[in-house]
Amino acid sequence: MSGAWAAIEQVERRSLSDLFTAEPDRLSRLTLDEAGIHFDFSKTHLDAGLVAGFEQLAAERDLAGAREALFSGQKVNVSEGRAAEHSAERGQGAPESVKRAQLLHARMRALIDAIEAGAFGPVRHILHIGIGGSALGPKLLIDALGRDVGRYDVAVVSNVDGAALEEATKDFDPATTLLVIASKTFTTTETMLNARSALAWLQEGGVADPYGRIVALTAEPERAIEFGVDETRILPFSESVGGRFSLWSSISFPVALALGWNAFEELLEGAAAMDRHFRLAPLDRNAPVLGALVDRYYANVRGAATRAVFAYDERLRLLPSYLQQLEMESNGKSVTIDGEAVDRATAPVTWGGVGTDAQHAVFQLLHQGTQLAPAEFVAAIEPDHALADEHHHQLLINCFAQGAALMAGRSADDPARSYPGDRPSTTILLDRLDPATLGALLAFYEHRTFANAALLGINPFDQFGVELGKQIATSLDSGEAESFDPSTRALIARAFGGAE
């Protein structure tokens, strides 16, 4: 075991209440304000001794060196031999990568201007087809920021289940629909099938030139051309931008179109502010790093198998599913960068929901269950609706009450009515939910994910775990069921007929 882990594990375990008594400066050390966001890590068990131990671990793992390698465009994604340059999309990275990203953004803007000037004829509906990182980011952004925009109706279709496409197109008029095909690789089975079916829908809907209604967002423009998309309607992005980190690239084309270019730029600027903070702030005053220390402490010292995120804001209801891909696809690994088996737990399962709904559904387990599930609350101080006074007050009060109750607990004569307390939570409070603050929030989560990976010595930028299932689906689709297990053969026979 590394010296740092030994030091971390030896730190005396004190309750949260004791920590607040023992460390009078706790609130000022474990809260910080950055880019319009207040981070409060004080209701976690991080104390001065643990932070010092983790600083030692960060030094052993060379977190600072890894961070510099990330921002300077080095090939940090070693298994795939490429850099991870999502921050270059927001102006923070190797100069040549930043320049390239800016040129590609300019190309996106020119296409948006052309569409707005009528180059595609009337456009009222945007049908965005993509999956995973090519869908979750735009979906979250449109849902969070685009509720009142009303210029375009945007539907994001990801699932290969035909019901999803049918549902999305039911109120769309083919004559005024722009078909956006988003796929980094332009080979993903689900996206390609949905794209072909959407094209057929346009055709059947009387659109004379359905290919002329397509915009493709991809790192493989040649494949989009082969598919039949005109080169002028392809918005490329760099291969070194990972799928789950791609919402800063042309993958957010429907966002920039629907919300306006200024909103997209503000999103990037907010993220850049968080980039600068992550890059420059000392580790013990660095929001993404402190978030990662919390994650490592509970996963590796207290054995927490999950981490729960609750958005106390309807506009952020898709945040947990966005974070599931970001955190679990990045860090759900079992080998280190050098190919050795990791010696401790990697990513916990990310789950969550919306407050206050979740309070009446899953919080029982948080308060009294046998599993430790560190909770994270995300809320905005400023509401955006007319029912602000009572509703928003109630919403925030409930959010803060949960953190207080988890920590304080309460004993009673009846064990069933007792709350053990001393349960950790983090609170992230946005001044308001706007493009800049949301950009900063999502960049915070990206860097936290990266910092976790650096502390574990794993590569957060590949995702080989998803490949086997894809390959087996292809084999089964080609009628190669006989080489598989009896259960799989029987399921196929039952669904499609034929011999087991």
**Are the CB atoms for 422 and 409 separated by under 8 Å?**
yes
> Helices in 245-346 by DSSP H: which ranges?
253-259, 261-280, 287-296, 319-323, 330-331
Q: How far apart are CA 465 and CA 61, in angstroms?
A: 24
To the nearest whole angstrom, how small is the minimum distance from the Cβ of residue 329 to ligand F6P?
Answer: 6
Subset of 295-354 contacting ligand F6P (CB under 6 A): 329
Among residues 42, 44, 92, 134, which is the contact residue for ligand F6P, using CB under 6 A?
134
To the nearest whole angstrom, how small is the minimum distance from the Cβ of residue 322 to ligand F6P?
Answer: 11
Handedness of CA 334, 338, 344, 349 (dihedral sign): negative
Residue with tokens 């005109």: 230
Is 470 a residue of the active site?
A: yes
Among residues 74, 185, 321, 398, which is the contact residue for ligand F6P, using CB under 6 A?
185
Q: How far apart are CA 220 and CA 499, in angstroms?
A: 40
Q: Which is nearer to ligand F6P, 183 or 426 (CB)?
A: 183
Interface segment toward ligand F6P; rule CB under 6 A; list 63-71, 127-135, 204-212, 439-447: 127-135
Instruction: Decide: is 133 part of the binding site for ligand F6P (CB under 6 A).
Output: yes
Q: Which is nearer to ligand F6P, 41 or 461 (CB)?
A: 461
**Are the CB atoms for 337 and 271 separated by under 8 Å?**
no
**Are the CB atoms for 128 and 180 separated by under 8 Å?**
yes
- Indicate which residue of 329, 333, 376, 392 is catalytic: 329
Q: Which is nearer to ligand F6P, 50 or 217 (CB)?
A: 217
Q: Which is nearer to ligand F6P, 331 or 463 (CB)?
A: 463
Q: How far apart are CA 451 and CA 205, in angstroms?
A: 49
Interface segment toward ligand F6P; rule CB under 6 A; list 18-26, 44-52, 73-81, 125-133: 125-133
Report the alpha-carbon angle 209-210-213, nearest 5. Answer: 100
CA-wise closest residue to 93 among 109, 69, 113, 112? 69
**Are the CB atoms for 120 and 132 separated by under 8 Å?**
no
- Indicate which residue of 12, 170, 360, 390 is catalytic: 360
Among residues 466, 472, 490, 493, which is the contact residue for ligand F6P, using CB under 6 A?
466
Residues 6+ apart with CB under 8 A from 285: 32
Token output for 471: 């390959």
Give the per-residue contact string, 224-253, with ligand F6P (x = CB under 6 A; - = no): -------------------xx---------
Instruction: Decide: is 184 part of the binding site for ligand F6P (CB under 6 A).
Output: yes
Question: What letter does residue 149 receive in the DSSP assignment?
Answer: T
Q: How far apart are CA 70 and CA 179, in angstroms?
A: 34
Instruction: Decide: is 403 part of the binding site for ligand F6P (CB under 6 A).
Output: no
Q: Which is nearer to ligand F6P, 195 or 304 (CB)?
A: 195
To the nearest whole angstrom, how small is the minimum distance from the Cβ of residue 185 to ligand F6P?
Answer: 3
Is 269 a residue of the active site?
A: no
Report whether the peptide linkage leading into residue 176 is cis, meaning its omega lies within 30 degrees of zero: no
Strand order in the sheet with 31-34: 31-34, 37-40, 425-430, 375-380, 306-312, 349-354
Is 220 a residue of the active site?
A: no
Question: What letter does residue 157 receive in the DSSP assignment?
Answer: E
**Are the CB atoms for 127 and 180 separated by under 8 Å?**
yes
To the nearest whole angstrom, how small is the minimum distance from the Cβ of residue 251 to ligand F6P?
Answer: 8
Q: Which is nearer to ligand F6P, 294 or 319 (CB)?
A: 319
- Number of chain positions touching ligand F6P (CB under 6 A): 14
Instruction: Decide: is 67 part of the binding site for ligand F6P (CB under 6 A).
Output: no
Among residues 44, 169, 188, 350, which is the contact residue for ligand F6P, using CB under 6 A?
188
Helix H or strand E segment including 361? none
- Indicate which residue of 75, 385, 393, 470 is catalytic: 470
Instruction: Decide: is 194 part of the binding site for ligand F6P (CB under 6 A).
Output: no
Among residues 66, 463, 481, 492, which is the contact residue for ligand F6P, using CB under 6 A?
463
To the nearest whole angstrom, how small is the minimum distance from the Cβ of residue 480 to ligand F6P?
Answer: 21
Q: How far apart are CA 218 and CA 51, in angstroms?
A: 41
Q: Which are the catalytic amino acids?
A: 329, 360, 470
Q: Given the rule CB under 6 A, which residues bind ligand F6P?
A: 131-134, 183-185, 188, 191, 243-244, 329, 463, 466
